[in-house]
Structure 1
Amino acid sequence: MQEVMQYAKGDSSKVSVEPYQIQDAPHFHAKEIKHIREQIPATQRVLAHYLSVSPRTVESWEADRTEPNGSSRRLLQLIEKDPKLIMEFSK
């Protein structure tokens, strides 16, 4: 932590800084969202709870009326990569 504080004050002699570019979260289409939800498995209401959105929002995504925003897309990306992840948080 001391190194971080020193770096924040302008002393970079004891730290190594490597730039890292975070990629944008992917866009998900209606069928993909439904597939991710079914992999958990969860209802639209439960998925909405996990993503902190309304059940109507998930319904709208799956009906292809709207698309998830950035934070929801990132969470869907994480769930898609490892469906067990969401089960760990729901305990």
Structure 2
Amino acid sequence: MSVYEGIMKGLGEALEHAEGKRAFRTVRVSSKEIEPLSTYTPEMIKQIRSRQEMTQVTFAEFLGVSPKTVEAWEVGRNRPNGPACRILAMLQQDPKLPEKYGFIKTT
């Protein structure tokens, strides 16, 4: 079957469904609400890092970013996004998270 034939077949099936001549299987999916990403001020980032008792270098290593990135966040040149925001939110809610999951071992 060519691409054109496949598209035409699909359109025909969609039209039949719209006219009530064809039934499609339905699948139920659970819907989940995802909390929007938080935004962080330089002060908030410093506070989160300080609560972890980490230097910028250690914090960067933990987050998987460069020390220059953490420095830029803390002076307001850049802002964290995506996964970094999720991790910062998790650290705000549970400061012991790194130890709980064995990412950091205190000596």
- TM normalised by structure 2 equals 0.67
User: Across the two proteins, how many residue pairs are aligned to each other?
Assistant: 79
Structure 2 counterpart of 1:42: 54
* Secondary structure, counterpart of 2:87 in structure 1: helix
Matches within 5 A, 1:12-31: 17-31=29-43
- Deviation digits for residues 29-66 of structure 1 (CA, Å, limit 9, x no counterpart): 10000000000110001110111000000000000110
CA RMSD of aligned residues (A): 1.8
Structure 1 counterpart of 2:77: 65
Percentage of identical aligned residues: 38
Greater Rg by CA = 2
Structure 1 counterpart of 2:14: none
* Secondary structure, counterpart of 2:40 in structure 1: coil
Whole-angstrom distance in 2 between the partners of 1:56 and 1:74: 20
Whole-angstrom distance in 2 between the partners of 1:29 and 1:87: 25
Whole-angstrom distance in 1 between the partners of 2:79 and 2:26: 44
State whether residues 37 and 47 of structure 1, in contact with CA within 8 Å, keep that contact through their aligned partners in structure 2: yes
Structure 2 unaligned blocks of 5 or more: 1-24
- TM normalised by structure 1 equals 0.78
Structure 1 counterpart of 2:104: 90
Higher relative contact order (CA 8 A, sep 6+): 1
Q: CA deviation at 1:23?
A: 1.7
State whether residues 51 and 72 of structure 1, in contact with CA within 8 Å, keep that contact through their aligned partners in structure 2: yes
Structure 1 unaligned blocks of 5 or more: 1-9
Whichever residue aligns with residue 26 of structure 1, its letter is S
Whichever residue aligns with residue 84 of structure 2, its letter is S
